[in-house]
Amino acid sequence: MLNVINLRKLALTLVIAIGCHMMSWGADTLSFPSSVTTTKTLVPAIYRIDGHHIIETGATLNVQPGVILLFEYDAVIEVRGGLNVNGEPRNFVQIYSEDTAKNGRGFVIVGGDNSKITFTYTRFSSLHKPIQFNKNWSRTAVKFQNNEFVDLSGSGVFFEIRELDKILTNQTVKITIDHNTFGNNSGSLMLAECSGELIQLELTNNVFSRNEFIGRELNGIFTTPIFMNYNSLPGRGSKPLIRNNSICYNFGSLVMSDTVEFFPVYLTAVGSSDFLDVNENYFGDNAKADFDAYQEDMSTSRRAPLLLYDKLQQKPSSDVNGHVYKVGVNGARVDDLNSNIEINATTDQFELVANRPLRVGKKFRINYVHLEDDTLRYEQLEHKIDFSNGNQLIGIQIKDRLLKMGKNGYIKIQGLEDENGFIAPAVNIGLKSFLMKNNVFISGYDDFRRIPKLIQSTPRVYYTGDNPIPSGSASDTGDIFIDSELIDPEDSMLRKDYWDAGILVGTTMYFGDLAYTNITLSLPNARPNLGFRFGYNLTDRYRIELSQNSMVIAGADDRSSIIGSQRGTNFDRGLSFRTWIYDIGVSGEYRLYRFRKIKNIIPSFFAGVSVYYFQPQAEVDGVYYNLRNVGTEGQRQDGSIYAYNRFSVAIPMGIKLSRHLNRNTLVSVSYTYNKLFTDYLDDVSTGPFQSYDQITSVNKDLGPVAYELANPNDMKPGLNRSASGDYDGYSFFGVTFTRKFSF
């Protein structure tokens, strides 16, 4: 009995031992087969590629989601048969080099096997040339859909499809390159054959963004994200379909010891075809002017098709993978090669606008990159991050003191991703200034990426908002991505150095000797006002404005008012007036906060100086007369022609509340008070009432009308017309509609 028990214990021990061994074996890196001769499937694991591996003719390799292919230096997989690499959203097949400094070669497709080449949801990085179709290849179909190609150099070309074998191919081969992301690469997608009787190319819904060709002379095959050889014969073969791609914010730079030159890059097309249609793609804000210059440079070459680009998209589609297409620093738009942003002690606010909702990924980092001796140091920064506008506007506040870490650095923001797991290409801010200030050192490197790196990897993130930071786990609950209609993120990002023009409508009130009440905001005192505004925004907070107003004010004695006793006249004067005022002025405005979201209501203060013209009038028998000519307080008794100057200076000051209606339109509500230096806005001051003879003698053309204007209730001559000698004033409430624009 004991022997049986001992045998059972021994058997159980063996089972547990074998199970543990199998579990540990499953966690180890597996060797990739040196030769695949039949159909084979790779299950989720890490596979090491060392040396030269072959997928034979007639064989097909299937790769399941979650597989990791780890290439050693110069390792290659030669594909003579079929290949199906199929990941899933948020569960990509990952293919990269074990040593990022010594890259593997990738896949080489050769021969004319009657099979397909398919890659979906695959992430390629740190490989010399992950995809290469050798000359005279053939397959039934080629599909690259929903993949990522990031951090690749490829010595100029990292994805290459050479000429098809016309003899081995007996039917049209469809080449689909759709919904992929090509970002942060220093190499190109090269299509050596885009047309022909046997090729149907579809290059659609891709993102080519933030690819950088640093230290290279302008050469299309090495300094543009896409290089195409497009030859065609009239009536033969299909045209390449290039639609709904976002090809934006890619640049080249020629770094020399004494200077640095920058140039935008998009795509290069050569060949004998007459035209290449690149409409219905997004190329950034300045693409049309760049294409105009490109056409002029290429017009003398018979090997360059004419580009058609009269119907470019104004913004990237939300259907393509997530990426950042606008960047702001401290409220200023900087995504432009003409912007030379220098990272300094005041650089602390960043705004990123994406084409679709983004969130924080597992590899999210914000680094300050600077050169120390011969090493690029990556310092992770303490920061606050805030998502708004349906997670398409990302605000970042930096808390570290950047210049204490090192001078002449730039900011690298990486690791944001969309709901399908596609990583948005990293955004480099201030890179142009960094390259210019370190050009002597950098010019000694053939590839900017070869400079040694030292990464300070301690995560430094903080968040003080009401909502949690969007992350992978949070978005799976459906709490992050809003299905409702999104507001254009650009609506809420204020940029500096722009102009605006607006129109104001409002009501004017007056302070003076004939006010209906002491309360200026009384509705009986209100009169209409129409104004025009023309402004220039120096920064996201400071603005200067040229303003013009046309308005009318009015007042009259009223016996029922208690103010009469305070004025000392009991309103027995019977005086009344209206005054037309036209002013023009310059003022400065200061906003208390920056515009961050479309719904923000931003308060501001303003003050300035203005010159105004005014003309008081009074009515007799339905006719209005100019009171300044009359001299109602005896001003003309000394022989003067007029009573007082009709032009004067004012100091306008006030407060304003502003809000965006859309990306280029604001509405503002404001109150403006004008400090004056005259008591004759209403033609009434402390001067004496005049007798009939005194008034009519200097107004012979008006006669009794002049006396009616100056002393309608026949007050005793010599009495003061008002008990107050204080300066008059006027103010107005207004609603202003402002349109932003640039020259």
Over the stretch 261-302, which tens digit does the pLDDT of each residue have? Answer: 888 899 988 888 888 899 999 998 888 888 887 776 665 555
| Per-residue pLDDT at 467 | 44
| Long-range contacts formed by 387-390: CB under 8 A, 24+ apart | 387/358, 387/359, 387/467, 387/469, 387/470, 387/480, 388/492, 388/596, 388/597, 389/486, 389/487, 389/489, 389/492, 389/597, 389/598, 390/357, 390/481, 390/482, 390/484, 390/486, 390/487
Identify which of 103, 104, 101 has the alpha carbon closest to the alpha carbon of residue 77.
Answer: 104
Quick one: pLDDT band at residue 465, thresholds 50, 70, 90?
Answer: very low
For residues 148-169, average pLDDT: 88
Contact call for residues 591 and 650 (beta carbons, < 8 A)? no
Query: For residue 534, is pLDDT > 60?
Result: yes
Quick one: pLDDT band at residue 531, thresholds 50, 70, 90?
Answer: very high
Query: For residue 196, is pLDDT > 60?
Result: yes
For residues 42-68, average pLDDT: 96
The two tokens of residue 40 are: 């084979």
Residue 321 DSSP symbol? P
For residues 341-367, average pLDDT: 88
The larger pLDDT score, comparing residue 468 to residue 284, is at 284
Q: What is the per-residue burial (b if ≥16 Cβ within 10 Å, else e) of 540-554?
A: bbebebebebebebb
Structural domain spans, the chain = 1-28, 29-308, 324-491, 495-741
Q: What is the per-residue burial (b if ≥16 Cβ within 10 Å, else e) of 455-476?
A: eeeeeeeeeeeeeebbeeebbe
CATH topology of domain 495-741: Porin (2.40.160)
- What percent of the chain shows pLDDT beyond 70? 84
Over the stretch 649-697, which tens digit does the pLDDT of each residue have? Answer: 999 999 999 998 876 789 999 999 999 999 999 999 989 999 999 999 8
Quick one: pLDDT band at residue 484, thresholds 50, 70, 90?
Answer: very low
| Per-residue pLDDT at 482 | 29
For residues 413-431, average pLDDT: 94
For residues 707-727, average pLDDT: 88
Q: Is 538 exposed, middle or buried (0-12, 13-18, 19+ CB in 10 A)?
A: middle
Sign of CA dihedral 391, 393, 399, 401: positive
Compute the distance between CA of residue 320 and CA of residue 487 in angstroms, rounded to an integer.
18
Residue 337 DSSP symbol? T
Compute the distance between CA of residue 80 and CA of residue 62 in angstroms, rounded to an integer.
14
Residue 557's SS3 state is: coil
The larger pLDDT score, comparing residue 292 to residue 246, is at 246
Contact call for residues 545 and 587 (beta carbons, < 8 A)? yes
Q: How many CB atoms lie within 10 A of CB 280?
A: 15
Query: For residue 18, is pLDDT > 60?
Result: no
Over the stretch 208-220, which tens digit does the pLDDT of each residue have? Answer: 999 998 887 766 6
Beta bridge pairs of residue 60: 82
This prediction has a pTM of 0.66
Least confident of 279-293, 516-530, 625-639: 516-530
| Per-residue pLDDT at 285 | 82
Quick one: pLDDT band at residue 45, thresholds 50, 70, 90?
Answer: very high
| Per-residue pLDDT at 158 | 92
| Per-residue pLDDT at 662 | 75
Quick one: pLDDT band at residue 571, thresholds 50, 70, 90?
Answer: low
Identify which of 77, 84, 85 has the alpha carbon closest to the alpha carbon of residue 109.
Answer: 77
Q: How many CB atoms lie within 10 A of CB 622?
A: 5
Beta bridge pairs of residue 49: 71
